[in-house]
Structure 1
C-alpha cells in the first residue's frame, strides 16, 4: 500500500564474531533483515593500538604533561586490521567506528590516540564506498568531570566530516544521561587508561539528567554548524523517559532507532514483545518524513544457513502483553482489553522472533489519517508565501484550496446562518427586489460562489449574487461556471475588489452589498493583506446592517525548536541573504514546543478519523501559498502548548477609521504629519504590535516562532489552525499550514527560563511587513537577568506590496 509505513531493519551484534560476507548478508536478507552492521576494524587492530598505548604510558611513567606530541603514532591499517573491503556489499551495511575509543577523554594522549583511530576508520570506510557511519556518542562522565569533553568530541567529528565527504555520520546516543550506564566498555576501553592526574575520582554516580544527552548533541551539531551529513541515533532503554524528552528527540534529525534485546519483554507464551510505551514511541517516530532505520541489537546471532523460514508461526498481536514478573510500570500497561484478539500460538521454531515481532508490528501500524496523507511530501518544506494582490494564482493552487473538506462547508454554514438571521430580524435589503445582495470578493474559481448558492437553496432565502475577481484567467473559469453550473444566476465582475463600485442596478446606479464574503486569510491570518483588501472593498458594504464573512480573525505565536528548518534556511542564505528574515509557510512536523503545560491523561483523547480529504497533490507540483496543515503528530496528547494571541482584526471597521485613512491619503494638512514608517500613514490603522512572555520549563534551543490563526466567519462558526482549538473548531481543515518566523542565530534556553517575544506588523504607503525580536531571562536570587537577545528581524525586503 502506498501509505503503509515501512520499517527498514538492520541486525547488530555488539561483538560480531563472523565477518560480513556475501553469504552472511544473503542469509540476513533471507531472514527478512534489510541491512547488517559491521565494525570497520577488528579485535586484532584494537590489541595493536592498546599495546602501543600501554608502551607509551609505561615510558611516561606518570609524567604530568599535556604535550599531545607524546602520544604514540598509530600506523596505517593492515589487512588483518579490517574485514571491510570495497565491494557490492558496502551499500547494504551500516559500518560503525570503534566503540572502545574515547574522543572526549580529558587525558590528551587518550584523546589523541582515539582521534587517530577514528580518522583512520573514517578514511577507510569512505574509501570502501560506505555511505553511513555509526559513531558512539561521547562519554560524558570522567570521574568528577561531566561533559567536559563534548566540544573536543565535536571538533573531532567536524574534522572527520571533511575526511569522509560522502559519509553520513549517525551519532548514537542513549535517550537520557544516566551516569550508572555511562561507563567504558570492558577492560579494553581507552577511558580506563586515562591518567589519574587528568581524571579525578568520582565520589558518587551523580543524578540522571533527562536532557543531558540532548544537551551534548546540541553542542556537537552547533559546533558542526548543523551539517547536513550529521544526524542522530537513539538507543531505547527498557524504561522510557518523560514525554518531554521523547518529543525533543522527535524534533532532531533522527535517522536510527536502536532497540536492544533487553528492551523486549516476554508474554505468557514466551514471545518477545515491546511494552506499550515503546510501541507508541516507535509508531510516532516512524511517522517522520524520513522514517528512521531500526537496528535490532544483541537479540542473538544470525541463525545458520540450514534454518528455513517455511511454516514459521509469528505473534498474532503486538498487544499480547501478559508477562512473567513485570515491573510496576510494565504491569500498569498490561491491558485486559486483549479479549477478542486472536490467541497466538507459542513460537517454537522461529529463528528470529524479535524480527518477526517487529515485522508484525509494522504490518499492523494504523493507516495514516487522511489529513496526513493529504500533506504527504510537504512536511518541513519551506515555502515563501505568495502575494495574491500582485500575483495571479495558478489553477493548481486554486484546486488544492478547493479540496478542503471543512473550510467551504463552514463558509456555507456561516452564509446560511446569516441569511436566516436576516429574515428573522426583518432586515431590509439593498436591492430593489427585496433579495439580499451577496458578493464574493476574490472569487477565484468559484467555490464560495457555489456554497453561497447552496446556502440560499437550503434556507429558502433567494439572493442576488456577484462574483468579483481580478485574475483574468480565473475570470474565464467563473464565466464558464456561470453558463454551465450556475445557470446564469451570478453576475461576474473582473476587477480588483478595492476598485469595485458595487452592484450595478438597472438604472445604472450602484447599490450596497448586504453580505460580503471573502477567503483572503493567510497562515498568520493577516499576512496576505486581508485587512487592507477588506478595508478597500468596505465602501460597497451596507453601513447599517451589512455582514462581513469573516467577521474577525486573530494571530497567534509560540516559540519552537525546529533544527531542520534552521539548517534548511542556513543552506539558502548564500544565494538568498534575506532567507533568515523571511517568514515561511511550512507544514511543521519535526519540531518541539518550548513553552507548554501538561494536562492529565484523563483529559486527553485520540482524535478520530473524521471526514476523508481529497488525494494529496504531488510534491513536485506547484505548491499553494495556503498549504494544508497537519495536526501536531509528534506531540504527546498530554502536552498543551502555550500559544497566546498577538492581535485581532475585525470587519467592518468603524467608518471613522476609514475616513481618517482617506484624509491622510489625501495629503491635506488635516490628515497629520505622515506615518511612523514613512509615507502619509494612511494604512497605520492596520499596524499592530504585541509583546508576549513564555515560560520555558525545560532547557532547549529556540530556532524560531510558529504562527497560527483563528477566524470567526459568523457567530457560532469558526476556523482555526491553533493547535489547542483546531480539533474543536475546524478539525481536519487542510487549507493552511502554520507560518514560521526564523531566528538568524538559535537561542539556547536553560530550564526554568522565560522568553519574551516582541512582534510587530509594520506598514507604510507601499508595503506590509513584520518585525520580531526575542529576549531570554532567568531569575537568580530574586533578580531577573537577561541572558540573551536575538537580532531585530525584519521582512521588509520581502514585504507584501499594497
Structure 2
C-alpha cells in the first residue's frame, strides 16, 4: 500500500479504512416499524434497526400468568400450615396469537435484528420466574426463526456471579441460551452485556418478572464501594463455555461512559464482538452542541474496528422514538395531500424536525469519525487481513515438495530478503579484513544457498557480491525436482555461469565439485558461506537444526552460517475464536488440539502482565547456533552409523539418539495480574543472520517476529506468522496467578515434535501457593515434522 493515498501509477486513491455499519435500537419500541417509518430511519444514514418479537399484550399475559402462579404457591404454603402439602403444577406459557406480535414474514424481515423481551429474567433465583423466562425465550426465538430473522439479541444477566455474594443463576442463563440455540438453528445469537458494571447505568425502564417474586428492582445496582471491572466478562465466559464456544454466539458489548483499564479493553478485544452499543451517556457535547465521543472512546473504536470481522455500531435510545417517527410520517402525508406552500411546510416541519435532526447528528458524527481512522497499514491490508486468526498447517519441507505459489508468497516479503542481503554484504565486506582463507582456487568466496527454492537468496548473494566487489562462486542446492527446473531456467535467463545448480537433498550433498565428474574421479571442495532460509514460525519447527547439521560437513573450518543462531519465544494467550474453530474441526480433525498451528494471531489477549521483573511477558524457550561443535557432529555420525549401540538413555525408545543434541526443554513462569482464561501458547522467534566480527559500531543483522522487537529489527516483515500451541480445555485462572509453562522439543531420529503443559498456581500467603488448575499434557507426535 502506498503512503498518502497515491498509487504506483500516480493516481489519487483514498486510503483504505474500516467501514462503520450503524444501527438503531429503541428499547421502548413495542412492534416492528412500518415501511414508512423504516424508510425514515434508513434516510438518516443507518443500515439496520432492531425489532421486538412480542408486544405489551403478550407481556401483560405473561405477568398475569406469573402473578397467578405465585399467588397459588403462597396460598398452598398457607395450606401446608394446616397439614396439606400439594404444590401447584408448573405454569405453561400459552402459544402466541396475532394480538401478541406484529412481527410477520415479509421481504424486509431478514434485515431486522430481533431483540428478546427485556423483562424476562433467566437468572432469577425464583424457579417460577426462571422457568417462565426460559419458555418465553424459546417461544420468541422459535417465532423469530420462523419469520426469517437472521440475528437475535439476548439481554445478558443483570447481576454477575462475583458481586454482592454472587448470582447463582449465571449457569441458568447459559443453559437456557444453549437450548434456545438448538431451537433457532438458523439464527446468530448476541448476548448484550456491558463492558463492566458502571454505576448509575443500570436504569430500569420497565418492570421485570422478578419484581413479582419480591426481588429488588435495584439489585443490579448494589455496590460495596469497589467495582469489579471483570465480573461481566466472567459472566460472559461462563455462558459461552456452557454453549461450548458455539460459532453462532457473539457479544453485543455496551461501551461505558468511563472506560476501564486497558487490560479489560484488551480482554474484550479477543472476544467474538458483533455489536458495540452506544447509549446517550457515552457521548459528550462538543462546542457546537453536537454529540461527540471522548478521545479515549475514539481510540477504542479505532482499535476494535481493526478486527477482520469488524463489529457494527448500535445506537441505543438516542432517538428517534416512535412518537417522532409517527409525527414525521403524518407530516409527509399531510404535505403530500394538501400541497402546502414552502413557508407552511418549513413551519410545520419544525415541530417534528428536532428529535429526528438530533438523531441524525449522531449518525453524521459517526460517519465523520469513520474518516478519521488511521489508514490500514500494509500488514493490515485486505490480503493480509484475510489471514487473521486463520489456522494453517505447518509445512513439511523435508517430506513435501512445495508448490510455486507457496514460494511466491515467501518471495513477496522484501524485508526478509533485504536483511539476508545485508547479512551477506557484511560477511563479504569483512572477509578480507579478517584475513579468512578461500575454499576456491581462484580467490572467490564460495557461497552455497541450500534449500534455494526458486532462487531469491541466490539473486541476493549475487547482488551482495556486486555491492562489495568481492568475487563469489554460488551453488544453488534444491531437492524439489520442480523447483530445480525453475532454477535452471533462472540460470539460463539471469545468472548464467555465475551459479551452479544442484538437485539433491542438502544433507546428501558432497560439496562443490572441484574436478572430475560425479561419476568419474570426483573431487569435492568446501563452502565458505552457507546460506539458508529454513526458519519456521518458532525458529526450529521446520527442522532448520536438523537440515543444517546434515549439510555442515561441506562447510569449511573457517566457514560462516547465515543464519548464525535463532531463539524461540513464547507467551500464554486467550484466543476464543481459534478455540471455537478447533472445536468445530474436532469431528474431522482429531489431532487439531495437538497440532502447532501457523496463524496470524490478532483477536487475542495476552495473559501475562508486562514489566514484571524477572518474568517478562515474552520469554525465551531455547536457542540453536550454527555451526555446531565438531565433537557434537562426530558423536551424531557415530550414533547414526551404529558406532554407539542402543542410543544411550537419553534417546527415545527405538532410536539411536543421533539427533538427541537437538532436543530441548524449558520451564517458564508467567505472572498474571488479573483473572482470565488461556487457550494456548503463542510462539515467536528471533534470528541473528550475521554478527560482525570487527565491531566498529556495526550492529548485528537480525530478523524477528518478537512483538517487542520486530519493529526495531525487521519492521513490516510478513514472511512468518506466529505459531500457536493449543490446549484442549481452556484454563481459567484467578487474579495474581503464576502460569508455569513446560515445553519439550522431542525427537526419535525420524521426526521432531513438541510437548507442552500449562499449570496455574495462586499465592495464599507470603510463603505458600496452591495449584488451581492445569492443562493436559499435549503432544504433536502424531503430526510431527518428518526428518
TM over 0.5: yes
Cα distance in 1 between the residues matched to 2:41 and 2:581: 36
2:430 equivalent to 1:421: yes
Structure 2 CA distance for partners of 1:671 and 1:432, relative to 1, 3 Å:
farther
Write out aligned runs for 1:229-268 (5 A): 229-268=248-287
Compute the displacement of 1:61 (Å).
2.9
| Corresponding residue number in structure 1 for 2:625 | 650
- Which residue of 378, 386, 389 maps to 1:370? 378
Cα distance in 2 between the residues matched to 1:700 and 1:765: 39
Deviates more, 1:105-114 or 1:667-676: 667-676
2:415 equivalent to 1:406: yes
Q: Deviations over 1:567-619 (max 9, x none)?
A: 111111111211111110000011100002169xxxxxxxxxxxxxxxxxxxx
Compute the displacement of 1:52 (Å).
2.2
Compute the displacement of 1:74 (Å).
2.3
Deviates more, 1:41-50 or 1:548-557: 41-50
Q: Deviations over 1:65-119 (max 9, x none)?
A: 9999654332111212111111111111111001111100011111112112111
- Which residue of 178, 187, 195 maps to 1:175? 195
* Corresponding residue SS for 1:506: strand
Write out aligned runs for 1:274-673 (5 A): 274-301=293-320, 304-305=328-329, 352-373=360-381, 374-506=383-515, 508-543=522-557, 545-597=558-610, 642-669=617-644, 672-673=647-648
CA contact (8 A) 1:178 1:209 kept: no
Cα distance in 2 between the residues matched to 1:198 and 1:370: 51
Q: Deviations over 1:29-80 (max 9, x none)?
A: 2222110111111122212211222223233337669999654332111212
Q: Deviations over 1:160-203 (max 9, x none)?
A: 111111111100000013465446543x2122223469999998
Write out aligned runs for 1:23-34 (5 A): 23-34=36-47
2:737 equivalent to 1:725: no
CA contact (8 A) 1:264 1:274 kept: yes
2:65 equivalent to 1:89: no
- Which residue of 157, 175, 181 maps to 2:177? 157
2:785 equivalent to 1:765: no
Cα distance in 1 between the residues matched to 2:397 and 2:40: 58
Compute the displacement of 1:375 (Å).
1.1
| Corresponding residue number in structure 1 for 2:138 | 119
Structure 1 residue runs of 5 or longer lacking an equivalent are 309-345, 600-639
Cα distance in 2 between the residues matched to 1:784 and 1:536: 46
Cα distance in 2 between the residues matched to 1:69 and 1:649: 74
| Corresponding residue number in structure 1 for 2:764 | 780
Cα distance in 2 between the residues matched to 1:115 and 1:647: 53
Structure 2 residue runs of 5 or longer lacking an equivalent are 1-13, 333-353, 517-521, 692-699
Structure 2 CA distance for partners of 1:520 and 1:204, relative to 1, 3 Å:
closer
Normalised to the residue count of structure 2, the TM-score between the two structures is 0.88
Cα distance in 1 between the residues matched to 2:410 and 2:642: 40
2:284 equivalent to 1:270: no
Name the larger-Rg structure.
2
CA contact (8 A) 1:707 1:738 kept: yes
- Structure 1 vs Structure 2 CA RMSD: 2.6
Cα distance in 2 between the residues matched to 1:430 and 1:671: 38
CA contact (8 A) 1:429 1:514 kept: yes
2:761 equivalent to 1:794: no
Cα distance in 1 between the residues matched to 2:160 and 2:592: 40
Cα distance in 2 between the residues matched to 1:358 and 1:48: 40
Compute the displacement of 1:425 (Å).
1.0
CA contact (8 A) 1:232 1:254 kept: yes
CA contact (8 A) 1:179 1:205 kept: no
Structure 2 CA distance for partners of 1:351 and 1:673, relative to 1, 3 Å:
closer
Write out aligned runs for 1:59-70 (5 A): 59-61=72-74, 70=89
Structure 2 CA distance for partners of 1:193 and 1:293, relative to 1, 3 Å:
same
2:714 equivalent to 1:737: no
Q: Deviations over 1:256-280 (max 9, x none)?
A: 1101122111111111111111111
CA contact (8 A) 2:73 2:88 kept: no
Cα distance in 2 between the residues matched to 1:389 and 1:481: 23
Deviates more, 1:117-126 or 1:143-152: 143-152
CA contact (8 A) 1:758 1:772 kept: yes
| Corresponding residue number in structure 2 for 1:605 | none
| Corresponding residue number in structure 2 for 1:708 | 684
- Which residue of 661, 665, 669 maps to 1:685? 661
| Corresponding residue number in structure 2 for 1:218 | 237
Cα distance in 2 between the residues matched to 1:566 and 1:696: 21
| Corresponding residue number in structure 2 for 1:190 | 209
* Corresponding residue SS for 2:514: coil
* Corresponding residue SS for 1:81: coil
Cα distance in 2 between the residues matched to 1:462 and 1:91: 70
Deviates more, 1:558-567 or 1:137-146: 137-146
Q: Deviations over 1:435-482 (max 9, x none)?
A: 111110011111100110000001111111111111111111111111
Q: Deviations over 1:335-385 (max 9, x none)?
A: xxxxxxxxxxx9996760000111111133222101111412111111111
CA contact (8 A) 1:561 1:592 kept: yes
Cα distance in 2 between the residues matched to 1:252 and 1:200: 27
Compute the displacement of 1:27 (Å).
2.3
CA contact (8 A) 1:696 1:751 kept: yes
Q: Deviations over 1:632-685 (max 9, x none)?
A: xxxxxxxx9701000000000000001001111121347853652121000000
Structure 2 CA distance for partners of 1:751 and 1:472, relative to 1, 3 Å:
same
CA contact (8 A) 1:141 1:182 kept: no
Structure 2 CA distance for partners of 1:349 and 1:82, relative to 1, 3 Å:
closer
CA contact (8 A) 1:405 1:734 kept: no
Compute the displacement of 1:206 (Å).
5.4
CA contact (8 A) 2:202 2:220 kept: no
| Corresponding residue number in structure 1 for 2:674 | 698
CA contact (8 A) 1:100 1:185 kept: no
* Corresponding residue SS for 2:125: coil
* Corresponding residue SS for 1:514: strand
CA contact (8 A) 1:593 1:641 kept: no
Compute the displacement of 1:389 (Å).
0.4
